[in-house]
Structure 1
Amino acid sequence: MLQSSVLKETVLKQEGFHMRCHGNPFSRRGFLAAGTLGGLGLSLPDLLMRQAAAEQKHYDFIEAKAKSVIHIFLPGGLAQQESFDPKPYSPLEYRGEMGTVKTNTGEVFCESIPQLAKRADKFSVIRSMSHGEAAHERGTHNMFTGYKPSPALSYPSFGAVVSHEYGPRNNLPPYICIPKVPNEYAGTGYLPSSYGAFALGADPARDDFKVRDLDLAGGVDQERFIRRKSALEIVNQRFAERGSCDSVDAMNTFYQRAYDLLDTPAAKEAFDLSKENAKMRDRYGRNEAGQRMLMARRLVEAGSRLVTLTYGGWDMHANITAGVRNLMPRLDVALSALLDDLSERGLLDETLVMLTSEFGRTPKVNADAGRDHWPKVFSVMLAGGGIQAGLIHGASDSTASEPELDPVSPADLATTMYRLLGIVADKELMAPGDRPIEIVNGGKLITPLLA
């Protein structure tokens, strides 16, 4: 019965479902219960047999609403006041110099995002994101893993977990970073390094943009490539026979996925921006924000499961008005184009778009006309992939100092993202030393945002 259950889970995962067991007999809680019941005369084998027999009755099937995720990360800390949560009625030293714009849903955004304001019915905003980490590195860790940093364990990023749970689709790498892995917390953590990201290695906005390693090296024809591949397999087999090693296993996995990619013209073509219509490239904007988002759309459309991209530097301790006016227009146009493009292609319903940053900015403008780090409250934008559109979830207080309504933690956000992907957030993965660790610990679903 256990074997049939495992087989059933394997098939369902391939179809975009994950099984969740209430009272998982293989969780830490299950074994703790086994110890307790043993004192009452019920042995561990008896317990496992009973739980296995009941297993068929206690599984729920989590259907994936989202097939892919585009995670747009704004490093440095996006100011909530100069984006999705302006405070027009607060004193000048709190509200800042920028005005507001009315959205097509009747809400108010900062004047810095007029194009997104016209499309507020396509996405939702969380105005009550909150955590306690005011350092860039620690805040970034929270927003890439759903966990507070720990000196005892390195946690895997969203992309690594998705890669672990689902693997490649259409021979595209399951986890891709544009243009590079943005930080150390976007890595695999305690998971094997074979679940790491494929990084483009170059910026799609460059005129000479070309993804590395997608073509055979100069002077290497197909026949020579096959000979090299066979030789490498023989060498790696000798290593494998002497014992398992994460670095060797990871390299084998990367090589195999590279072979699959090289052998799949449609997958390779996904990385070729020259295949895009010139008008479409112009529509996104011929800049870092525009071309990175266009590349992300191409990659999820072709089959990649999670694409992470970064844009700009938002750590504006001085002259924040000038900084936002410089960076935001390209983001506003590109993100609006992405939402429109995904919608027109019928992809928005199955693609979750997340716009995040490591924290927000201080309620009060400082002496240098900037804002400093502020993790107590900030804003996140979500669209598509099973998200209810046109909503504002939660609220900050009158000066954007702290949540006033429905605070949301990074664990809550991660739990909701995984649920939309069909992944059980409290499923236990194995860390070194056979230590079971939940994908997310203690996160709650943000149910009002679920369509």
Structure 2
Amino acid sequence: MFGITEMDEQRRRFLAQSAVAGGGLAALSLGQPLRGLANEASPAPVVPRGKAEHCIMIWLGGGSSHIDTWDPKRMGDAKTKKPGSYYPSIETAVPDTQVCEHLPKCAQILDRFNIVRTVHHDVIDEHAAATNQVHTGRPTSGTVVYPSVGSIVAHKRGPASEHAPGYVLIGYPNVTRGPGFLGAKAGYIYLTDTKSGPAGFSRAPHITAARQTRREDLLRRVRDEYRKQLPAGSVVSDYDTTISEALRLSGPKFANVFELDSESASLRESYGGEFGQRCLLSRRLLQSGVRFIEVSHNLNFVNGTGWDTHNDGQLKQHVLIQELDDALSALVLDLEQHKMLDKTLIVVASEFGRPAQFDGGGGRGHYSKAFSVVLAGGGMNNGKTIGVTDELAMKIESDPVSLPDLHATIHNAMGIDPHEELYTPDDRPVPITDNGRPIAALFS
């Protein structure tokens, strides 16, 4: 296993024995359930560390239907309540792998992708809890706030340029995407408009560079005096970090990233609408040195419900799928054109999937026992389909992938040891993943 020393192993064995004797000491000490201890008893395959430099997570908020996108099955019928796919399937560039008919552009280049069809967890009816678990790789804890995958990548790798932040969220901010116990330095910059950068980073036109320097000097002296008078707690430290980051990014180099009009009209059109422009901006942000980007595609106004396709939301689900197809295929080809695809891991994820059955209104409920996550680029062994589900995409038949395993795969692709321990402010060790193992077939 990666990063497990003899001392680590002895500590884990002690905690496991204590849990049996004392009713859960290991879970309390590690801040997580004991699901991984059984895995440690079996040998883990040696997995080479990946060499990706950047990561883009495309977030399909609401629970995208895997049986209607990446894991199609026999046709169903919403009117007669016959379980099955809502759309016909089509062949792809990967032999024996089909996808929904509304993903034709991605189908043609699926050899740059990997579909992981057997991701699973236990949260079904609570969007927020499921979203948090997919982002952190762990259940919510009452004693510690775990960092998101984006914050861990930002913490471990940092920005690739002094003119860029480590982590950008394109969409609305949420604690599930945050740094948790890692603190503000591993937090994100968020954007809701692709046409301009964060308003707080831009100084007014009448403020000259000399005047800005004087203002920053005054602010520094005020902050220094404040710290002398009051103990420096986490709130003060986080504020200082945020101010310093805003000042660092206030120059023109970062602002120029948002000039999408500098790209050709044909390229902008290939990406599609608002979501597509977010993906185009993501490529430009990567070029500026951003390490991790999350792009939200939960635009409810497109079909009335976003990806949470209960009842009538199912009727226009294809519009969302077509938008995803346009933007994702354009992003992959654009990164490839710029010779960045092997250096960029793309992750397409949602908090859970949808069942094969239809609800009373003709839509679908929630389902987390088996759903799909798509990985692309990143220098992995692409063109693979990981895992098999049953005839209704509801039961895993082979190669289950837990959320810790998914996180271990992402971190490993980014050159991060998924078993390394991080430390909370009170010096409590927390492994980067909950004993997750990278999907070996993607790295061998």
TM bucket, shorter chain: 0.7 to 0.9
- 1:209 positional shift: 4.6
Change in CA separation of 1:24 and 1:190 when aligned onto 2, cut-off 3 Å: farther
Structure 1 residues 24 and 178 mapped into 2: Cα distance closer, same or farther (>3 Å)? farther
Q: 1:257 aligns with which of 245, 264, 273?
A: 245
Q: CA deviation at 1:77?
A: 0.4
- Tell me what 2:284 maps to: 298
1:370-429 deviation per Cα after TM superposition (whole angstroms, max 9, x unaligned): 110100010010011132211110011111112111111111010111111111122121
Aligned: 1:98 with 2:87: yes
The structural deviation recorded for 1:214 is 3.4
In 1, are the aligned partners of 2:64 and 2:352 still within 8 Å (CA)?
Answer: yes
Partner of 1:326: 319
Q: CA deviation at 1:435?
A: 1.3
Q: Paired residue for 2:399? A: 406
The structural deviation recorded for 1:267 is: 3.1
Structure 1 residue corresponding to 2:256, chosen from 254, 269, 278: 269
> In 2, Cα distance between the equivalents of 1:248 and 1:27?
38
Spell out the pairing of 1:153-302 with structure 2 (5 A cutoff).
153-171=144-162, 172-181=164-173, 183-200=174-191, 202-204=192-194, 209-241=196-228, 242-263=230-251, 265-285=252-272, 287-302=273-288
CA distance in 2, matches of 1:178, 1:363: 31
Residue deviations 1:108-167 (CA, integer Å, cap 9, x gap): 111121111111111010111111001111110111111112222211111111222122
Are 2:271 and 2:277, in contact at CA under 8 Å, matched by a contact in 1? yes
Is the 8 Å Cα contact of residues 118 and 388 (structure 2) preserved in structure 1? yes
**Aligned residue for 2:122?**
132
Amino acid corresponding to residue 339 of structure 1 in structure 2: V
State how far apart, in whole Å, the 2-side matches of 1:31 and 1:133 are: 29
Alpha-carbon distance in 2 for matches of 1:240, 1:209: 34
SS in 2 for 1:392: strand
Question: Size of the alignment, in residue pairs?
Answer: 400
Distance 1:343 1:250, change over 3 A: same
Distance (whole Å) between structure 2 residues aligned to residue 435 and residue 343 of structure 1: 42
Q: Does 1:29 find its partner at 2:11?
A: yes
Residue 76 (structure 1) aligned to one of 46, 56, 62: 62
Q: Which residue in 2 is equivalent to 1:7? A: none
Partner Cα distance (1:71, 1:169) in 2: 17
- Tell me, yes or no, if the aligned pair for 2:68 and 2:86 is still in contact at 8 Å: no
In 2: Cα distance, 1:166 partner to 1:238 partner: 33
Which residue pairs with 2:376 in the alignment?
383
Contact 1:211–1:271, Cα closer than 8 Å, also in 2: no
The counterpart of 1:143, out of the listed 120, 134, 146, is 134
Residues 239, 163 of structure 1: alpha-carbon distance in 2 compared, 3 angstrom cutoff? farther
Q: Is the deviation greater in 214-223 or in 119-128?
A: 214-223
Deviations 1:272-319 (A, max 9, x none): 22322222111111x122101001111112211000011122000113
Matched letter for residue 98 of structure 1? Y
Q: What amino acid maps onto 2:294 in structure 1? A: T
Residue aligning to 1:444: 437
Deviation (angstroms), 1:62: 7.2
- 2:249 is paired with a residue whose SS is helix
CA 1:318–1:228 in 2, change beyond 3 Å: closer, same or farther? same
Return the letter of the residue paired with 2:64: L
Counterpart-to-counterpart distance in 2, 1:442 and 1:61 = 14
User: Against the structure 1 CA distance between its residues 225 and 100, is the aligned structure 2 distance closer, same or farther, given a 3 Å change threshold?
Assistant: same
User: Would the alpha carbon gap of residues 214 and 274 (structure 1) be closer, same or farther in structure 2, given more than 3 Å must change?
Assistant: farther
SS of corresponding position for 1:373: coil
Given that residues 122 and 389 in structure 1 are in contact (C-alpha distance below 8 angstroms), is that contact kept between their aligned partners in structure 2? yes
Following the alignment from structure 2 to structure 1, what is the Cα–Cα distance between the partners of residues 2 and 65?
Answer: 38
Q: Call closer, same or farther: CA 1:435–1:28 in 2, change over 3 Å.
A: farther
Q: Secondary structure, in 3 states, of the residue corresponding to 1:422? A: coil
The 1:26/1:230 distance shift into structure 2, 3 A limit, reads farther
- Indicate the SS of the match to 1:283: helix
SS of match in other structure, 1:319:
helix
| Letter of the structure 2 residue corresponding to residue 266 of structure 1 | K
- Kindly tell me: are residues 180 and 28 of structure 1, through their superposed partners in 2, closer, same or farther at Cα, counting changes over 3 Å? farther
Q: Matched residues in 1 for 2:52 and 2:181: separation?
A: 25
Aligned AA (1:341): D
CA distance in 2, matches of 1:361, 1:63: 33
Q: Check conservation: 1:139, 1:359, Cα contact below 8 A.
A: yes
Aligned-pair distance for 1:239? 3.3
Q: 1:163 to 1:399 in 2, by over 3 A?
A: same
**TM-score, structure 1 as length reference:** 0.83
RMSD: 2.4
> Do the aligned partners of residues 396 and 320 (structure 1) sit closer, same or farther apart at CA in structure 2, a change above 3 Å counting?
farther
Q: 1:26 to 1:128 in 2, by over 3 A?
A: closer
Residue type matched to 1:100 in 2? Answer: S
Task: Judge conservation of contact 1:350–1:385 (CA < 8 Å) in 2.
Answer: yes
Q: How far, CA to CA, are the matches of 2:13 and 2:350 in structure 1?
A: 39
Q: Aligned with 2:172: secondary structure?
A: coil
Distance (whole Å) between structure 1 residues aligned to residue 85 and residue 317 of structure 2: 12
SS of structure 2 residue aligned to 1:324: helix
Give the secondary-structure state (helix, strand or coil) at the position aligned to 1:251.
helix
Give the unaligned 5+ runs of structure 2: 16-45, 299-305
* Alignment partner, residue 53 of structure 1: none
Give the corresponding residue for 2:111.
121
